[in-house]
A and B are shown apart, each in its own frame.
Chain A
């Protein structure tokens, strides 16, 4: 970060800022409130959350790479259809490749991959970041946004799974291979389950608590910012 100031813009890319944005400040779910459809649909277990998170991460990386390297060609008037085309093509290719060469993983994740197209967060990042930045920051932003999204998915999945069925990372060996089978734990033996948490309403409930918790955490160490937010709308006109 203490690079020479007369270096090119590349050296002054605020990597830390991008990472902070992706993981926390401007997290896809927690701050941007995007990608809620796939989020609520698959987070019945932590394993499923992890699966969708990783698949989205790959697509976000690749779309960041493509959009930022092609940004000189793309004009603002037709950018949205072009981005959609790029993302849809990527997702389809990922789907085909996984089906062919990672077939066992595809059997578990296959259901989620088409859902990635509906993930407006990817289009959002293409539009607001990758199309305005050099390749490396765009890819890094894709990575950080993807990791942030994955973390939320896993957290939400874990909460719902523990409350809903008393297990954690059930079937993880199907997704990650036998070596990761140790992740599969039963936290509450002989638990009869709390079905609501596994069904979609449980997803909304858990997400609500997660968002409230994040807001709370954000506010605690920065009382000044809280004051700024509180007075914000008043000053608007």
Chain B
């Protein structure tokens, strides 16, 4: 630290403050300075935001579409998955007694009481839906995108975001482990509700050595997603009414 100060002092002697001296110690100057900088900073941020808004939302839509394509097979739909999403209230199937307190807490903590449901259409028939469900993991919420066929079976699940321990809990990512594919083809009756848990809790799904909370949270999130679907199945799979889009 002291060496550093020495260097700086030498350098400042070489090139002293150059601009004309206003009444720099006055309150007015300080106020103007601070206000001016705040104004300039805000203006820059506004410009930056305007410039990047379009590209960012485009990139994010691309990301979302890529994730949706992973949980809903392309042959299941002939529409743009992002078009005409449904907004439905987030609620579990009539608070069934066996739904673990864990999953309830997870969804209520997320705070959102509405979820966006993306629909896969063939003609006007809904063949599958995809929406996000959230579980409370070891180190924070785990966001899972869940694709469910109209028959209530899981088409695919992918973890969108999590903050679990690297090397332990991150096996829920498809890029690290194929654990998450164990849910493909399952529904609320397969396995039966009381077996919708990790093996340690008497269920059918593997946990990871050293990490039980993470897979438990994912199982709970997916189960609660299935319950949401079951509770609102009619609304979700009703033939799509397309009001505006008549492109072809």
Contact = CB atoms under 8 A, between A and B. Distances in A.
Interface string B64-80: 00000000000000000
Contacts, number: 110
Nearest to A44: B166
Interface string A19-38: 00100011000011000000
Interface stretch (A53-61, A79-87, A182-190, A205-213): A79-87
Nearest to B27: A77
Contacts of A25: 3
Interface in A72-95: 72-75, 77-78, 81-82, 85-86, 88-89, 92-93
Contacts of B168: 195
B10 interface: yes
A73 B19 contact: yes
B30 A93 contact: no
B24 A75 contact: yes
A14 B7 contact: yes
B51 A100 contact: yes
Nearest to B4: A26
A133 interface: yes
A226 interface: no
A13 B10 CA distance: 9
18 contacts: A9-B14, A25-B3, A26-B3, A73-B33, A78-B34, A82-B33, A82-B34, A85-B38, A85-B41, A89-B44, A93-B45, A99-B56, A128-B4, A129-B4, A129-B7, A133-B8, A137-B11, A198-B166
- Top 4 nearest A-B pairs (CB, nearest first) are A9-B14, A72-B19, A100-B55, A100-B52
